Each structure stands twice: as structure tokens, then as C-alpha cells.
Amino acid sequence: MPAASLRTLGRSMALSLILCSPLLASGATTQCPTGQYQVCMGSCFCAPVSQTEIGTVFAQVGQIAATGLAGWIKQSRNSAAAGDVQPIPLNIRVQLEPYYDFQVLDSARYKVGDTQELNAANAMLQNPDVNAVTLMDIIVFRHEQDALNNVALWAHELKHVQQYQQWGVDDFAARYTRDYDAVEAPAYKIQADVAKTLGKHGS
């Protein structure tokens, strides 16, 4: 979900509470008093809990974060659907038919969103650079030119449509919260592959 920067409290909270990656630091027993372990979540501190208890707390925080993200995705998708959504432009669809089956291509819709909508996505999805965001089957683009002509960006976002179809929104949110790089990696790969193919055909 590749582009804008949001320097607000909302982003800070999203990054630290919703999509953070809390870690139990290695070598903690030598840095903290007996019976305490070093916990790093933004900054590090010593906590009087066992490693097992810390793992349980982190798992619970992850579940809460995933539930919150899934709820935001569903609400944002419904809000986007209430606006003017369009099917994939024909010129885009034709070029991406070799990469995606009809289930993905037929279900996807798009709209050009406002800055506030995309900045919220930037905060919630821990993405420093949001040109578009996929809300289940609706792709919200920042710029109309990208929506109409950026085939590689479409390839990226359609990968997320496919992921939603395969995993469902709740599992997508859980995976994204746990390791967003693993969710984004295949989308960036197909984006690069399509861009490379288009470059060859254009030369």
C-alpha cells in the first residue's frame, strides 16, 4: 500500500500501540535485577515478570491490535463504498489479466480519495509512503493519474485484493499486525515485475 507523511499523535499511537513489534531483549538477565527482564517496545525497560508472562501479554496485545485494524478496514471500506467507486479501467485490466484471475479483476473497484482518508491509512498501516490503499475490494488512490494509468501500482494493490479474498479481512489484519513486511513483500514484488515488463515492452 505504497506515499504521504502524517506527523500526528494518531500516527504515533498507531505505530506504538497497534502495529508495534514488541521484543523481549536478548541478554536481559545481565542488564536487569534478578527476577526482571528487559522489555523493548519503542524504548526498553525492566519488568518484574517472567518471559512466559511477557509472551502472553504480547500475544494479547497483538490480538487486540489485529481486531482494531480489522474494524478500521471494514469501516473505511464501507465509507469508501458509499462514494463514487468505479471498476478497473479497461486499459489497466487488459495489461494485468496475465497476472490475476477474473475473481480478483471483477471484484476490485476504485475511487480517488481525499487526503484525510489516505493519511489515516498511512497512520494505521505503518506505511511512510501511501499513494493508494486497499480496503478489501476497494482501492483508494491519492492521485487520479495513478488510478487511470499506473499499471504497476494497480498490480501492487490487486495483490492485496487477492490476499483479502484468500485470507479474509480478520486474518489479513492479524498478519499485517504481526508482520506487515510479509504481507507487503509479494505486492511489491509483482509491482516490480510488472514495471520491468512494461519497461521492456516500451523500449
Q: What is the pLDDT of residue 142?
A: 87
Q: Which residues span the domain enclosing 154?
A: 68-202
Residue 164 placed within a domain: yes
Residue 118 placed within a domain: yes
Q: What is the pLDDT of residue 165?
A: 98
What's the CA gap between 40 and 58, in Å, rounded?
Answer: 11
Residue 171 placed within a domain: yes
Residue 55 placed within a domain: no
How many distinct structural domains can be found in the chain?
A: 1
Q: What is the pLDDT of residue 54?
A: 59
Q: Predicted confidence band at 105 (pLDDT cuts at 50, 70, 90)?
A: very high
Residue 187 placed within a domain: yes
Residue 33 placed within a domain: no
Residue 161 placed within a domain: yes
Percentage above 90 pLDDT, the chain: 42
pLDDT, greater one: 128 or 9: 128
- Could you tell me which residues come within 8 angstroms of residue 95 by beta carbon, excluding any fewer than 6 positions away? 151, 194, 198
pLDDT, greater one: 69 or 137: 137
Count CA atoms within 13 Å of residue 46 on its CB side.
11
pTM, rounded to two decimals: 0.69
Is the Cβ–Cβ distance between 133 and 139 less than 8 Å? yes
What's the CA gap between 167 and 176, in Å, rounded?
Answer: 11
